[in-house]
Amino acid sequence: MSATGAATADEGTEGRSTTGQALRRLVQGDLSSVRVVLGLIVIAIIFQVQEERFLSAQNLTNLMLQITTIGLISVGIVYVLLLGEIDLSVGAVSGLSAAVMAVLSVNHGWNAYLAIAAAVAVGAGIGFLQGSLFSRFVVPSFVVTLAGLLAWEGALLQVLGKTGSLNINDPKITGLANTFYSDTVGWIFAAAIIAAYGAVLVLGYRKRVSAGLADGGPLPLVVRFVFLSALVIAAVAILNSDRGVPLAVMILLGFVVGMEYVAKRTTFGRHVFAVGGNAEAARRAGIRVNAVRVAVFTISGSMAAIGGVMAASRLFAVNQNSGGNELLLLAIAGPVIAGTSLFGGRGSVWTALLGALVIGSISNGMDLLSLSSAVKLMVTGGVLLLAVLVDAVARQQRQTSGRV
């Protein structure tokens, strides 16, 4: 070990001074989620000062319902961004998938779950197709998915037919976004989440200790545990004091946690990061790069469909505007604002939730203040631009400090 002493002497400072390192990471973007939480607090204070309804239980519950669709679509977008690619079709795909579900349910009397499954299959199939075209013909993903955006929007109009809108009446579908749990069930959720998180932390720590890899003691874990528990308890208390914990929130959380698990704890997720970081290195390591790409676009299409189903459920209808307007841009902006890099290889699925919260709060707050859509669009655009600039600056700093 001593043979490399000379080499490490001048590099040994890395990984040692943890406080300085943490500060630097905060600036450089590794701790961007902390930055985003601070941003959220600032946003909340600004709106609360001007409109006291902003932090009311009712409005916060509305906010959670408003971000469900964007958050779900963003989960898929995170995977695409991790590859360093983009999927511009997700808005249109969410609309088309929801329309397919509505037509099957309303016009053909399909069972709700079969209709939902068909919608997800449509989204998955479209993602598979676009991913295959992108990786097989080496066309930039934004071109393939831009073509998709137009084509699937056309398909949406086609599927909806002359009336251009369909009202959904199956309670199994409308219940997805309009079910609230009783206080007791809400607290059971809270207890289950906290217990599961604690168990994961304890088991992971024990395993590291028994393998002799314990680093820095359990204090950081305790801090994280206390922080998360407080957050969960506060959230459930607030939701319970209004209508209760919405099923939609549990669906969103379930997908975020599940897909974060896939990204960080499975071989597939590791390969997504590898392809996004250095596709050639991934290929030489024997990773089937194109298969990873196709899978990621399939995930993106599926999540778009799931988001579309939730939107239709909340609206009790699908119409020609479903999946349109700024949904696409907000779903991409969210994760970027919250720290997933546009350049690939860096990010987490949590940014889908955090980003949706930031964007949702801004839009919700401006609605409360009755600002015009002109102002809303300009403010949201400004926030997105700021996020992209922060991402680019963080990347430049990594490069100048030798990290690409």
Partner 1 sequence: MAADGTPLLELEGISKRFGPVQALDRVDFAVSAGEVVGLVGDNGAGKSTLVKAIAGINPPDDGAVRFEGREVRISRPQDATELGIATVYQDLALCDNLDVVSNLFLGREQVSAGPGQVSRQLDEVKMEHETADLLSNLAVTIPSLRSEVGTLSGGQRQQVAVARSLLGDPKVVMLDEPTAALGVPQTKQVLELIRRLRERNLGVVVISHNLADVFAIADRVFVLRLGRAAGEFRAEEATEEQVVAAITGVGDGRDKGERAGEEERA
**DSSP annotation of 319:** E
Task: Indicate which single residue of 7, 49, 138, 219 sits in contact with partner 1 (rule: CB under 8 A).
Answer: 7
Task: Indicate which single residue of 53, 136, 224, 284 sits in contact with partner 1 (rule: CB under 8 A).
Answer: 284
Q: Does 12 bind partner 1 (CB under 8 A)?
A: yes
Residue 373-402 contact track with partner 1, rule CB under 8 A, x = bound: -------------------------x--xx
β-partners of residue 246 are: 180
CA distance 13 to 19: 12
CA distance 320 to 120: 19
User: Total number of residues binding partner 1 (CB under 8 A)?
Assistant: 42
Q: List the structure tokens of 296.
A: 């990621």
**Nearer to partner 1 by C-beta: 54 or 79?**
79
140 burial via Cβ count (<10 Å: 0-12, 13-18, 19+): exposed
Amino acid at 323: G
Q: Does 6 bind partner 1 (CB under 8 A)?
A: yes
Q: Does 216 bind partner 1 (CB under 8 A)?
A: no
SS (H, E, C) 264-314: HHCHHHHHHHHHHHCHHHHHHCCCCHHHHHHHHHHHHHHHHHHHHHHHHHH
SS3 15: coil
Q: Does 136 bind partner 1 (CB under 8 A)?
A: no
- The total of other beta-carbon atoms located within 10 Å of residue 226's CB is 10
Residue 54-83 contact track with partner 1, rule CB under 8 A, x = bound: ------------------------------
Residue 292-331 contact track with partner 1, rule CB under 8 A, x = bound: ----------------------------------------
CB of residue 394 vs partner 1: minimum separation in angstroms? Answer: 12
Interface with partner 1 by CB under 8 A: which residues? Answer: 1, 3-8, 11-12, 14-16, 207-208, 211-213, 261, 265-267, 270, 273-274, 276-278, 280-287, 345-346, 398, 401-404
